[in-house]
Amino acid sequence: MLSRSRRILSRFRNLFRNNRAEEELAREVASHLTLLADDFERRGMAPEEAQLAAKRAYGGVEQAKQAHRDERSLLWIEQTIQDLRYALRMLAKSPGFATVAILTLALGIGANTAIFSVVDAVMLRSVAAEDPQRLVIFSWSSRHDPKLNGLSSYGDCDDNTRDCSFSVPFYEALRSHTATFSGVMAFGGGLDVDFSGNGPANIARGEFVSGGYFSTIGTKTIMGRPLGLADDAPTASPAIVLDYSYWQRAFGADPSAVGRTVRLDNVDVAIVGVAEQNFTSLTPGKSQDFFMPLSLAKRIRGEWGTQDRLSDPATWWVVLGGRLKPGVSIGQAQAEATTLFHAEVLNGAKPIFSEGDAPTLQLLPAREALNGESNQIAAMLELIMTAVGLVLLIACTNVAGLILARSANRQKELAMVASGWWIVASDLRGITLRNCVSFCELPVLGDFLATSH
Amino acid sequence: MKKMMPIPILQGTLDLMILRTLATMGPQHAYGIANRLQQVSEDALNLNQGTIYPALVRLEQHGWTRGSWSKTEKNREAKYYAITKAGLKALEEETVRWRQMSGVVEKLLAEEQ
């Protein structure tokens, strides 16, 4: 009995280790043929002749290998298929039970899938950047409020102890002086603007991004080109890159969208590219319809007031990010950036802070810094997730109860086959498989319920 | 005397023969086993050497033999099969069973004549 179960176990292992077994078999057959040929040679044959004779004596090499393979794994698969058929037959025999069990579990799993997809999008998904470990976001804190003309944030960082809006001049100082970053970028938005030139005019949401945005994050375009440093120049002809899903939605995924000219508020801009599909926004849960260069902030004012937010050091509204150079630690980069920050806010032409405010700069990994609004809804999501988890648990308990009640009916059947361990084992496998079959149908149904919300 | 036609291997007997061979001769590679079977049977067995592989797999899966790679005297690599404790026990049981079986067959055949 023991050796029988061992054999089943080893066949099961062989299902997964087939390659190794195959290699070993080939090696063994080759060694066998060599030994045979050696013997023939010793009896006075020429080497080639001996090799041929060895093959003859061995019989078909391929047949032998096939027999080996069959012996390795066939039986197990056959029996599994048998049990699977049995499982389906038994389910079909009691459609009422099957329906109740499947629906109960589908409901539980559907609810979990739906909530989990939200949790995943908001809390778990890592930042959509290449090598996100080396992408950092700037944030500041101080003892007293800064003397600013304007301070805006667009829900990228949600934290009461620090702020991650900066001025465009600070971004430019950073860009031209940094030795620790291989790329720096600034972005702000999204802003709702009039979008016309593509069917009826409508409102679309655009994000202002600096020229280094795409290259620093490592985002590509599926068509056309991303925005680059050249687009930052005030004289550059205005260009935008469409978000993938907006391109699908508003342009019907038309490839000729790239190269078309549209109008944002009162500015004609050219569509130069479409961002890749798996990138929507650095900040989880945020999205926009298109990306526009920072330089357009002068001409597309949105809801903004009197100050020129591209040149005013006291208007803080962009989020800054940078990619660390290889071998540079976050601490080194922070030290360098702090020096630049203090030069700007304490000793600049128009000081924002006084020494007593103790302004400090902190660099955080993008994933940590850009939590969007997840902090506010995290607690609620956790609660809902726990609740639907309990619903699934209850559903499982109910189904387990149903199965138990039904098994009572099968006692006679089981008693009949209890004459041998092996038979019981195979029957148990049948029962388990049948339960597995019901479970396998469930994720499909669960998905269906989740997507039909 | 007419030359004897090689006889096909009786279902289920190959495992027993291999176990016996390993118990007598110590660890052997597949070629050694096949050679031994041919010698003992004085070429009466119709045995393609490749035929013994499924039996070798079976025995190893049962845990009755254990295979490991090493070198022959002539420095060729080969997989040597050794009989295990469980294998020795199985050999004993199978031998008894075979004796009973062949005894029955012999008896029947003797009565018929």
User: Which ipTM was obtained for this model?
Assistant: 0.78
State yes or no: pLDDT of B19 exceeds 90.
yes
Which two structure tokens, joined as six digits, stand for B83? 């009989």
Q: A31 touching B, CB under 8 A?
A: yes
State yes or no: pLDDT of A1 exceeds 70.
no
pLDDT for the residue B22: 93
pTM comes to 0.51
A390-423 residue pLDDT tens: 989 998 898 888 888 877 776 666 666 555 555 5
A216-249 residue pLDDT tens: 888 888 888 888 888 888 788 889 999 998 999 8
Query: Of residues B102 and A425, which shows the higher confidence score?
Result: B102
A163-193 residue pLDDT tens: 888 888 888 888 888 888 888 999 987 788 8
Average pLDDT of the segment spanning A280-287 = 78
d(CA A331, CA A287) in angstroms, rounded, equals: 31
- Closest partner CB to B50 (pick from A7, A61, A71): A61
A48-77 residue pLDDT tens: 888 888 888 787 778 778 777 777 765 567
**Contact between residue B6 and residue B45 where contact means Cβ atoms under 8 Å apart:** yes
**Contact between residue A257 and residue A271 where contact means Cβ atoms under 8 Å apart:** yes
Residue in B19, B37, B49 to test binding to A, most A beta-carbons within 10 Å:
B49
pLDDT for the residue B82: 93
Q: A18 touching B, CB under 8 A?
A: no
d(CA A101, CA A105) in angstroms, rounded, equals: 6
- Closest partner CB to A34 (pick from B48, B63, B76): B76
Task: Report CB contact under 8 Å: A63, B50.
Answer: yes
Which two structure tokens, joined as six digits, stand for A92? 């079909």
d(CA A209, CA A344) in angstroms, rounded, equals: 22
Residue in A9, A32, A51, A66 to test binding to B, most B beta-carbons within 10 Å:
A32
Residue in B45, B53, B64, B73 to test binding to A, most A beta-carbons within 10 Å:
B53
Helix (H, G, I), strand (E, B) or coil at A85: helix
State yes or no: pLDDT of A377 exceeds 80.
no
Task: For residue A5, give the chain B residue with the closest CA.
Answer: B62
Task: Report CB contact under 8 Å: B48, A59.
Answer: yes
**Contact between residue B58 and residue B41 where contact means Cβ atoms under 8 Å apart:** no
- What count of Cα atoms within 13 Å lies in the side-chain half-sphere of residue A214? 26
pLDDT for the residue A453: 44
Burial A188-208 (b: 16+ CB within 10 A, else e): bbbbebebeebeeeeebbbbb
Place of tokens 């298929």: A81
Residue type at B35 in one-letter notation:
N
Q: A72 touching B, CB under 8 A?
A: yes
Question: What residues of A are in contact with residue B29 (Cβ under 8 Å)?
Answer: 31-32, 35
**At B89, is the pLDDT very low, low, confident or very high (cuts 50, 70, 90)?**
very high
Which two structure tokens, joined as six digits, stand for A246? 């907006």
Q: What percent of chain A has pLDDT over 90?
A: 5
Q: A10 touching B, CB under 8 A?
A: yes
Average predicted confidence (pLDDT) for chain A? 79
Q: A277 touching B, CB under 8 A?
A: no
Query: Of residues A149 and A255, which shows the higher confidence score?
Result: A255
- What count of Cα atoms within 13 Å lies in the side-chain half-sphere of residue A423? 8
**At B23, is the pLDDT very low, low, confident or very high (cuts 50, 70, 90)?**
very high
State yes or no: pLDDT of A451 exceeds 60.
no
- Closest partner CB to B31 (pick from A36, A63, A70): A36
Task: Report CB contact under 8 Å: B54, A63.
Answer: no
H-only helix segments in A190-306: 213-217, 244-251
d(CA A315, CA B57) in angstroms, rounded, equals: 78
Query: Of residues A127 and A329, which shows the higher confidence score?
Result: A329
Q: A25 touching B, CB under 8 A?
A: yes
Question: What residues of A are in contact with residue B31 (Cβ under 8 Å)?
Answer: 31-32, 35-36
**At B7, is the pLDDT very low, low, confident or very high (cuts 50, 70, 90)?**
low
Pairing of strands A166-167, A315-324: antiparallel
DSSP state of A291: E
Task: For residue A24, give the chain B residue with the closest CA.
Answer: B79
Pairing of strands A202-209, A290-293: parallel
d(CA A198, CA A188) in angstroms, rounded, equals: 24
pLDDT for the residue B3: 47
Question: What residues of B are in contact with residue A66 (Cβ under 8 Å)?
Answer: none
